[in-house]
Homo-oligomer: A and B are copies of this chain.
């Protein structure tokens, strides 16, 4: 389905970086969910470029709800959100349109779309489309919260610096969701920002790892074999430009453990089944077990850099060099955090709707 994801709550994404607008349609939401435009705006602000560590492109991200909301609540019919592109400088791109930017989608786009794609600013491949995902997430996150399901992401690693692990997830999620640069350890945060600025000065860029936690998911949600919670989330997370890896619970580290240390022993706690450890990241057999869902997403460094690189001229099929053009970010990890939350929220809505029916989320 290309630009649509989800079975019962489905999101369709559209738009190009320098076209009229980007946007999305969310179909299948329960009717009666209060939609808080101020909250959506706040979420969009968390994604917006901020100061020196981001691109100077200053999109206001003013969004228009074109359908699906009536008297402040979801109608249950498709919710379309449009985010017009206002601060576009397309001229930046015309000269260089045949010079493939390394590790961008310029070359693959040519192979797939035969030169008809809108090349300006990455076109449909631009990270700008994630603003629509954030707006969509902003429409459903409060409904999830109302059902006791909260989501938060911190920058686990950035520019070579690690944040500390989650320890009191509930409190930390609250803290993170009100923080611009979402790091738990203040010192780590300062060092990350310092390193980003240093990379920027060197006309280079950095990447990082986001770690997301979900609290409050009921046990028994998800499907074998293909609509597993891991499979559904990973498919959606790989839609975020720059993601190259996704791992759940102990992730790649679990490969080095023994069964006796990796296994999460069950025990009763307040008449509830819980596990003593959470190496499985809240998921067994693809299905939630009621423990926190924990996963990490690896982001490559922004491919656009000011350092001159070797590449090819796709028109003339010959070697060429390229030096960054367009406005760009030395790091997008801190901006991507709210995208991860949003994508997670949308996938969970889909899984919950499949499990409990159309109306559950608004009850």
Among B19, B25, B206, B241, contact of A12 (Cβ-Cβ < 8 Å): B25
Interface residue A267 (Cβ < 8 Å from any Cβ of B): yes
Q: Identify A244's interface contact among B15, B250, B299, CB under 8 A.
A: B250
User: Does A281 reach chain B (CB closer than 8 Å)?
Assistant: yes
Measured between beta carbons, the chain B residues less than 8 angstroms from A219 are 107-108, 111
A146-B219 Cα distance, complex, nearest whole Å: 28
Q: Is A55 located at the chain interface by the 8 A CB criterion?
A: no
Bound CA–CA A220/B76 (angstroms): 12
**CB-CB nearest in chain B for A199:** B258
The reply to whether A7 and B14 contact each other, CB–CB distance below 8 Å, is no
Is A310 an interface residue, CB under 8 A from the partner?
yes
Please, which residues of chain B bring their CB within 8 A of the CB of A177? Answer: none
Contact A289 B32, beta carbon cutoff 8 Å: no
Q: Which of A199, A252, A312 has the most CB of B within 10 A?
A: A252
Bound CA–CA A169/B238 (angstroms): 25
Contact A21 B285 (CB under 8 A): no
Specify which of B70, B262, B285 is in contact with A108 (CB 8 Å cutoff). Answer: B285
**Chain B residue contacts of A355, Cβ below 8 A:** 357-358
| A108 and B287 contact, CB distance less than 8 A | yes
Q: Is the CB of B14 within 8 A of A255?
A: no
Q: Which residues of B contact A181 (CB under 8 A)?
A: none
Interface: A212 (CB within 8 A): no
Cα-based distance from A27 to B359 in the complex (angstroms): 22
Q: Which residues of B contact A79 (CB under 8 A)?
A: 14
Q: Which of A16-72 contact B (CB under 8 A)?
A: 16, 19-23, 25, 27-28, 31-32, 64-68, 70
CB pair A360–B359 under 8 Å, yes or no, is no
In chain A between 94 and 150, which residues have their CB closer than 8 angstroms to a CB of chain B? 100, 102-105, 107-114, 116-118, 123-125, 129
Interface size class on chain A is: 35 or more
How far is A303 from B261 in the complex, measured between Cα atoms in Å? 10
Say yes or no: is A263 at the interface (Cβ < 8 Å to chain B). Answer: yes
- When all copies of this chain in the complex are counted, the total is 4
Per a CB cutoff under 8 Å, which of B117, B218, B285, B319 touches A75?
A: B117
Q: Are B259 and A204 in contact (CB under 8 A)?
A: yes
A255-294 near B? 1/0 per residue, CB < 8 Å: 1111110111111100101011001110111111110000
Answer whether A75 and B118 are a contact pair too, CB < 8 Å, given A3-B226, A108-B289, A246-B246. yes
A245/B256 contact (C-beta < 8 A), A12-B27, A124-B75, A289-B108 known: no
Contacts of A209 in B (CB 8 A): 252, 255
Interface pair A104/B255, CB less than 8 Å apart: no
State which of B27, B113, B307 has its C-beta within 8 Å of the C-beta of A2. Answer: B27
Instruction: Specify which chain B residues have a CB less than 8 angstroms from the CB of A27 in the assembled complex.
Output: 1-4, 12, 14
Is A342 in the interface zone, CB < 8 Å from B?
Answer: no
A231 — which chain B residues lie within 8 A by C-beta?
Answer: 234-239
A76 engages B117 (CB within 8 Å): yes
- Kindly list the 3 A-B residue pairs having the minimum CB-CB distance in the complex, ordered from nearest: A105-B285, A111-B220, A245-B247
Which residues on B sit within 8 Å (CB–CB) of A16? 67-68, 70, 75, 77
Q: Which residues of B contact A208 (CB under 8 A)?
A: 255
Decide if B254 touches A298 in the complex (CB within 8 Å).
yes
